[in-house]
Structure 1
Amino acid sequence: MNVALWITAGLLAAVCLAGSAKMFVAQEKLAALGGAATQWAHDVSPTALKAIGAVELLAAIGLILPAVLDIAPVLVPLAATGLVLLFIGALTVRLRRGERATIAGDLVYLVLAAFVAWGRFGPESFTG
């Protein structure tokens, strides 16, 4: 189970690292890049877009580095819990916008983040 949690955390970190690029991409360009999946970018301010990107970058760091460096490894399940909240927000936005066709990815990432949070708080805790 530990290996599955590491693989899942690595996958989520990669997804969040790629998603954090929205801190550096212009809002119009981001909305045009992903087709229907990124149309929500028109509805938020550039500052909010950069904040979401920063949260994703911090999540990517928090999923891996604390455990690898053995410095405050309790941050790993906390980062995963934060991702659960982020993806709940993403699902909420997509449902409100009527983008039901694009929620599958967010739903998968939500389940993966919940798995990491559950696993690292519970049976495969770094502190136990």
Structure 2
Amino acid sequence: MEIAYWIVAGLLAVFYLYAGGKKVAQSQERLRPMMGWVDTVPMPFVRVIGALEVLGAAGLVLPPLTGVAPWLAVAAAIGYVLIQVGGIAVHLSRGEARVIWLNVVLLAAAAVAAWLGGASWA
């Protein structure tokens, strides 16, 4: 179970470090080609989402790695589930049902990470 957790959590952490880092560091104009929704959301909120994604990546990895409050990894994974539910809602409200596949995959991976983390460190 722990090996499966580390595979799923590692992949999620790398993805969210990249995606969250872009949201934190890049301008709206640079984000727009990849994330068209940034036009409908205030840029400070985009930055908050990015910061939460980066913090969540740390939350998936650091607590189980150090053994300090490993339940935080489960909380981080649940946070990612909630972020993806919000992402799916935004895409559906914009009529972009065809592009929610990535959100669904990330939501499923985060749910698996939460389950595996709960089973490993509960």
Give the TM-score range, shorter chain: over 0.9
Query: 2:50 maps to what in 1?
Result: 53
Give yes or no for contact 1:28–1:42 (8 Å, CA) kept in 2.
no
1:5 and 2:5 equivalent?
yes
Q: How far 1:74 moved relative to its partner?
A: 0.8
Q: Which residue identity lines up with residue 30 of structure 1 in the other structure?
A: L
1:23 is aligned to 24
Aligned to 1:44: 41
Task: Name segments (4+ residues, structure 1) moved above 6 Å.
Answer: none
Paired amino acid for 1:101 = R
Match of 1:80, SS? Answer: helix
Q: Deviations over 1:5-58 (max 9, x none)?
A: 1100000001110111211100111002x2xxx110111111011101001011
Q: Indicate the residue corresponding to 1:104 in structure 2.
A: 101
Could you tell me how far apart the structure 2 residues matched to 1:101 and 1:52 are?
22
Q: Provide the alpha-carbon RMSD of the alignment.
A: 1.0
SS at match of 1:44: coil
Q: Quick one: percent identity of the two aligned structures?
A: 39
- TM-score normalised by length of structure 2: 0.95
- Measured in 2, the distance between the counterparts of 1:43 and 1:60 equals 25
Q: 2:7 is matched by which residue type in structure 1?
A: I
Q: Which runs of 5+ in 2 are unaligned?
A: none
Residue segments in structure 1 that go unaligned for 5+ positions in a row: none
- State the shift of 1:101 in Å: 1.6
Structure-2 residue corresponding to 1:86: 83
Q: TM-score, structure 1 length as denominator?
A: 0.90
Deviation at 1:61, TM superposition (A): 0.5
State the Cα distance separating 1:2 from its structure 2 match.
Answer: 1.9
